[in-house]
Structure 1
Amino acid sequence: MAAVLEDVLQLGEEAAKLAAAPLWPLSDDETGDCLAAAYRLEQAAAALQQRLVRQAETRGLPAAAGARNTAGWLRSRLLLDPGPARELAERAAALARQPAVEQALIEGKLDARQATVIAAAADTVAEGLAELGEPSDDLVQQATNTMVDMAARLPAYQLRRIGERILVHVAPHLAERADELALARQEARAHQARGFTMSTPVAGLVLLSGRLGLEDAAAVQAALHPLCTPAPDDKRSPAQRRADALVDVCRLALRTGELPESGGEPAQVAVTVGFDPLTRALGPATSDTGLRFSAVTARRLACDAKILPVVMGGAGQILDLGRSHRLATGALRRALAIRDGGCAFPDCDRPPRWTDAHHVVGWAEGGATSLENLVLLCRRHHRLIHDPAAGWQVRLGADQRPEFIPPADVDPERRARRNLYHPRL
């Protein structure tokens, strides 16, 4: 067995022993120092990993194993997820082009993320100087050294911003021209690299992942920003507000009538709902795309989506194949907007275009799609009304305007409330 392999195995065993050692004897200062030393050990191991990845590439191990690329080989060899495998392969390649940065990582002057950022900045400087026809070796080295020095104080995300303008520090006379060329290259690459994916559901969540160029990102931010402002007593996190805003923007687009083909309305969905004839209770629902919903969510979708319900018995037989639900569109939708002025929930300020038409008596329970059985609710309050645990109820008052009955923990007397924000005719 090679000495390097023996040393790595021995180091792994020692690290495992340390991971299980009791930590209570450490003083406060020693705890912090030990954490810093453990992090330094992790970064040294990361440098070794990257060198081993390059050695594997040099020997052709990924191709010999039938992998399409190094990241694919790392996924199978180390049982890595796609993202970490790709990051490890890219970091190894970047540091191979910048050996001075790799050496700084080995010496403990950088961590792996800082090293990746500095290597990318050095590549960008070299590319820009070549495009300008300027000698690059000395300036690239100066840029690298400057950023390595800054790494003693700045984390990777701040170094990335420094790297975008590093020539200002080392060659100010070239910085403006190089910056213009770098931005043009960046925009072209960003346009090619743009993309958006939605994962398969896991534990009721779908992971959205994507990349946009700066111009497109600015448009998205401009659309989301007005909807991300927290309302009074808004307990949503900033990330939750952005997620809700994205959904609101998409729902608005569906209603514009300007989307191609089936756009302009919420999508038509076939939902299969389990039904217990003894309790006459609905069970979980499954859409025609394989997404599973609770019965409560299925009822909420029925308020403002074109749904073809398929009610199944215990043996899987079809008990009822309902007709397509008619949406609150056209004159009915306009009448709702005039009557409610927007989301009718007490003092919500969402305008009509950001609302659903909610059935007071659910469509699944025989409620009609009529002005007397509909009320406008924004997505947040629509979800609240459909949540049995929340305890809110909605009805139409004697004047046929919506009013809401709060749960007892909000008002022990459960007095009806109305929206005072939207103007009334």
Structure 2
Amino acid sequence: AAKSEERDEDYVGKYDRHDEKEKENEKEKEKGGMVVRQESTNSNGGYNNDSTTTTTTTTTTTASEKRIQLSSIRAPRPPTRNAPQGEPWGYEARELLRKTAVGKWVEARVEYCRSVPLSPEDASATRQLVFANVEVLAPEEQIQVDVTGQWPASPAPSTTAITPNRIHLAELVLKKGLAQTVRHRTDEERSALYDHLQAVEEVARSSRIGLSAKQAPPTPRINDLSQAGAAKAKLHLPFLQRSGRIMGVVDFVLSAQRVKLFVPKEGVLIAFAPSGVKTPTRAMPAQGGKPATQAEAYAEEAYAFSRELLNQRDVEVVIEDMDRGGTFLGSLKVLGGGGGGGGRGGGRQERQEQGERRDFAVELLRNGFAKIQPYVDPMALANGAEMVQAERSAKEARKRIFENWSPEQDSSWDNENGGAEEGG
């Protein structure tokens, strides 16, 4: 699948586009508010997005997800699991979009759709690509949607400039020299802002920044400890424990409580889970001689909650211990206010002084997606008192996994194996 996705851009424009009726249907479906959530390339946890021109959104009306390509631009590919080096400037382009758009309300105007083959060998197997102009709403519009739930009035589409006070994502990456406009054929559909985007690209090229610079940036070096085994991961435990608060980026959500975390300062990827909590286990197929398991109640809902809260977000973690599977344990706080935790390895990591900090374990407990493990003394944890209060409030409200809870008897959980690796 990863190889197929890498070929997609090479075939865009070589195949028939969708008919007008289907295109209009796509445009109609994309009306309304969206929240950007960039995704990793594969279910096992790729390093980054499959393309910096890809945006995954959640609509306010249907809570569905749609993958969207930014119209008429092409960006270098960032590092992936199968291509850890990526292309020059791919990492920088991805980080620019992540810090600008992830978790923000945006408006996407779908402009055209195309079908592309999944492989050059079989042109009959295709998938649909949806291309759109995407704008991040202005700060006052973000507040309006969050507070009132009302979507701001959409301005008339412009063919010469972006909407005032909004950030047009295609223009942004072109202005930084981190993308190029697509050279369309005469009969090809293109962005309504195509002439403007070309002018922005020319300014960046004249300034010799980004892709036009004389020298490419250093190639990012990423040591994936999440795939290296427990023995190798344990060698890094003392250092990470002494580091105190560590800034990182959630690269991929593996389960409701377990994530793959990128620590830019150290250039490492680690598996991480919050200490002392357990979430419902998702269904697992039979593998490695182990039988298939059925999903526990609210397992999928818990996983969706964690993805929405954490994926591609800047976080602050404190490493306390490591389980036998090589997953680091500790506390994790999601930083508010968008970007701030990224940066190329070796750069100075600064604490984000503004914005909300949400404790991951507390959020799971408060929303009824986890319980405190019975053999853990929560008061021994840094956020133990808050965890106990959050679990108590969820029980009293009979939220989700506590829907059948009573003061006389807590809900029954299978803790036969325990450990962070059992949850989600």
TM-score by length of 1: 0.24
Higher-strand-fraction structure: 2
Report which structure shows greater RCO (CA 8 Å, sep ≥6): 2
- The structure in which a higher percent of residues are helix is 1
> Rg larger in 1 or in 2?
1
Q: TM-score, normalised by structure 2?
A: 0.24
